[in-house]
Amino acid sequence: MLLPALFFITVLIIGPFLLSVWFSFTDQRLVPRPIPTKFIGTTNYERMFADPLFWQAIWNTVFFAVIVTPVQLSMSLGAALILNSAVPFRGFFRSVAILPLLLPMTVIVSIWAVLFRIPSGPFNAVYQWFAGQGNYVDFLGNPSVAMLSIVALSAWATFPYQMLIYLAGLQEIPQDLYEAAKLDGARAWHRFRYVTWPGLRNVNIFLLIITTVGALKLFTQVDILTKGGPNGATTTIIHYLFKRGYANQKVGYASAVAVFFFLAVTAIALFQRRVLKNEGEA
Amino acid sequence: MRIPRDVVLPSLFAVILAMGVLLPLMMTLTISLNPNEQDIMVSMGAVRSFIPQVFSLQNYIEVWTDPVHPFARYLANTALITFSTLALSILFNSMAAFVLAQGTLPIRKPVMILVLATLAVPGESLVLPQLMMAGWAGIVDSYEVQIMPGVANAMSIFLFFQFFSRLPKELIEAARIDGFSFFQVYRYVAMPLSKPVISAIAVLQFLEIWNAYLWPVMVTRGPEYRPLSVAMSAYFGTNQAAWGNIMAFAVSMAVPVILFFLILQRQFIASVMSSGIKG
């Protein structure tokens, strides 16, 4: 009974993991060549650390994660607070709010491609109210705006997931705490600051970690909308890995990137966990 | 009638939230119903691009009958891949979790630690060796190659494990005394009780597979085995000018899932919520 699952885990996770560590020290190609693959030591890692595009991919990925995580979590928490309050038609609003989660990312990307259209897509139509006719923002073609556009799209696309988890967290907070705070004359902001926020501590830690880790894996949006451009402005680590390993067929080199990615993600998740847990206990 | 102040402000925010979600979707629907590409371009961004002015199915018919991009085939591929993955994943992972939670094998603990350790490995970092292995096995561009990675799922073992290890010992013992084999206890006692876990895992994995992009891009070569998500982006890439058709493709792809989940909304919300609290 145990064997089928163990077989799949071994063949599809543990096996490939060990293989990628091995490949990262070789000049393995995707399609076999007449010359045999050979062990080349740490050459892949040296080349990787010497490639400016690699560093740009890291910077872009970190930039994306650092911006999208707070933006998306605030959206999710705000939406959860609204949907947890006594609004009329709450069921309807809740159904509407989870819609983006149900849409496949590729669908969302094509919808946003219209929103981002230049010179007269919906976003630019709004922009022109303020900036005047003829002006527009090149949301995907301007290197300093492109990643922020991806941030907006991504936050919209996945905020309902965190929203539902916040809603679950809000419902766990005992109602009598709010009653007591009200009796003490605490205003809405104080009730949020001293009852809701501390009550969400574990939820916040969990969401911060999964949202960051998810953000570090950014690929689909970038691959379809910008192909990593303009000028590498939206190249992420996974996109870089995909380009080198799949398009350029340099599996050995891309495996070094994969090993680096694995170590970095694990380190960041452990670091966040440690810092956040300690902060609460101090 | 006096409206309490506590309701006005949240209602206002709720409407803004709903607009933020619905406006882009209204626009999508409006464009998909407009057969005139030129009109789509001219009206883009104007108010009338958010409210359907014409109701034509021409774009939809074009999408569904496109010989280069067989929509029905993509939909069937996606459905087959999704349901096979879910069935195999739930079957194998629940069996393994039951052994780990209730069995007597001495190696249970190290196996569990190994399973949990694989949770730390991001799937994205494994795609290249997985692709090499698929090449060696000769299964690139097939259904199997898209189904298998989803079956190896430590998260689903973990969720089943949590549930099974909380089953009352007396229940299991009573069933054993009644002459049930270990497998029969799993099949006739544990599984019927685990509907909430099954639906949680089904919902989460459904979304994951439905959204899968990186792996299917790498392992499919043409329409034969290609899922909808990859087809959508290929369609988007080759028909950049035909927004009516692209949006009709998007709506056709989104509507079945939305309907499915709106019907199962209660279970769906409960599943996502539980994934967070226990995760």
Across the A/B interface, how many CB contacts are shorter than 8 Å?
Answer: 269
Q: Tell whether B12 is within 8 A of chain A (Cβ).
A: no
Structure confidence by residue, pLDDT tens digits, A210-245? 899 999 999 999 999 988 878 889 999 999 999 998
Of A27-31, A110-114, B69-73, B214-218, give the lowest mean pLDDT range: A27-31
Structure confidence by residue, pLDDT tens digits, B228-273? 999 998 888 887 778 899 999 999 999 888 888 877 777 777 777 7
Output the pLDDT for position B203.
Answer: 83
B63 domain-assigned: no
Output the pLDDT for position A221.
Answer: 92
Predicted confidence band at B99 (pLDDT cuts at 50, 70, 90)? very high
One domain for residues B86 and B135: yes
Boundaries of domain holding B11: 5-56
Q: Tell whether B234 is within 8 A of chain A (Cβ).
A: no
Nearest to B94, CA basis, from A13, A1, A9: A1
Output the pLDDT for position A282.
Answer: 42
Asked if A239 contacts A57 with a C-beta cutoff of 8 angstroms, the reply is yes
One domain for residues B41 and B175: no
Nearest CA in chain A to B137: A11
- Mutation test of the interface with chain A: which of B84, B124, B220, B277, choosing the one with the most A Cβ atoms within 10 A? B124
Contact residues on chain A for B18, CB-CB shorter than 8 A? 93, 96-97
One domain for residues B128 and B235: yes
A 178-217 → B contacts, CB under 8 A: 203, 206-207, 210, 213, 217
Q: Tell whether A152 is within 8 A of chain B (Cβ).
A: no
Asked if B7 contacts B34 with a C-beta cutoff of 8 angstroms, the reply is no
* pLDDT for B278 beyond 50: no
Structure confidence by residue, pLDDT tens digits, A74-123? 999 999 999 988 888 888 898 899 899 889 899 999 999 999 988 778 89
Nearest to A234, CA basis, from A66, A57, A50, A48: A57
* pLDDT for B76 beyond 90: yes
Structure confidence by residue, pLDDT tens digits, A21-47? 999 998 888 887 777 788 888 888 999
Asked if A139 contacts A127 with a C-beta cutoff of 8 angstroms, the reply is no
B36 CB contacts (<8 Å, ≥6 apart)? B54, B244
Q: Tell whether A135 is within 8 A of chain B (Cβ).
A: no
B61 domain-assigned: no
> For the residues of A211-279, what is the DSSP string, one character each?
HHHHHHT--HHHHHHTTT-STTTT--HHHHHHIIIIIS--HHHHHHHHHHHHHHHHHHHHHHHHHHHHH
Domains of chain A: 39-85+97-253 (1.10.3720.10)
CA distance B277 to chain A (A): 7
One domain for residues B201 and B108: yes
Instruction: Report the amino acid identity of residue A109.
Output: V
d(CA A132, CA A119): 12
B31 domain-assigned: yes
- Mutation test of the interface with chain B: which of A12, A85, A170, A226, choosing the one with the most B Cβ atoms within 10 A? A12
Q: How many domains, chain B? A: 2
B64 domain-assigned: no
One domain for residues B34 and B114: no
B118 domain-assigned: yes
* pLDDT for B277 beyond 70: no
One domain for residues B225 and B148: yes
Contact residues on chain B for A223, CB-CB shorter than 8 A? 213-214, 217, 233
% of chain A at pLDDT higher than 90 = 45
One domain for residues B37 and B122: no
Partner-chain contact A13 B152, CB within 8 Å: yes
One domain for residues B128 and B21: no
Structure confidence by residue, pLDDT tens digits, B111-141? 999 998 888 888 888 999 999 999 888 899 9
Q: What ipTM was estimated for this complex?
A: 0.86
Q: Tell whether B6 is within 8 A of chain A (Cβ).
A: yes
One domain for residues B25 and B120: no
d(CA A137, CA A141): 9
Output the pLDDT for position B98.
Answer: 93
- Report H helices in B167-227: 169-177, 182-185, 191-193, 195-211, 214-219
Q: Tell me how crowded residue B80 is: count the other CB atoms within 10 A of its CB.
A: 15
B230 domain-assigned: yes
One domain for residues B159 and B24: no
Strand partners, A26: A39
Partner-chain contact A223 B213, CB within 8 Å: yes
B203 domain-assigned: yes
Find the mean pLDDT for residues B96-117: 89
At B81, which CATH number?
A: 1.10.3720.10
One domain for residues B39 and B172: no
- For chain A, the distance separating the N- and C-terminal CA atoms, rounded to the nearest angstrom, is 46
One domain for residues B36 and B152: no
Using CB atoms, pick whichever of B27, B96, B129 lies closest to residue A122: B27
Predicted confidence band at B279 (pLDDT cuts at 50, 70, 90)? very low
Predicted confidence band at B2 (pLDDT cuts at 50, 70, 90)? low
Partner-chain contact A110 B247, CB within 8 Å: yes
Asked if A29 contacts A248 with a C-beta cutoff of 8 angstroms, the reply is no
B65 domain-assigned: no
Instruction: Report the amino acid identity of residue A9.
Output: I
Q: Tell me how crowded residue A204 is: count the other CB atoms within 10 A of its CB.
A: 18
Contact residues on chain A for B111, CB-CB shorter than 8 A? 2, 6
d(CA A245, CA A19): 14
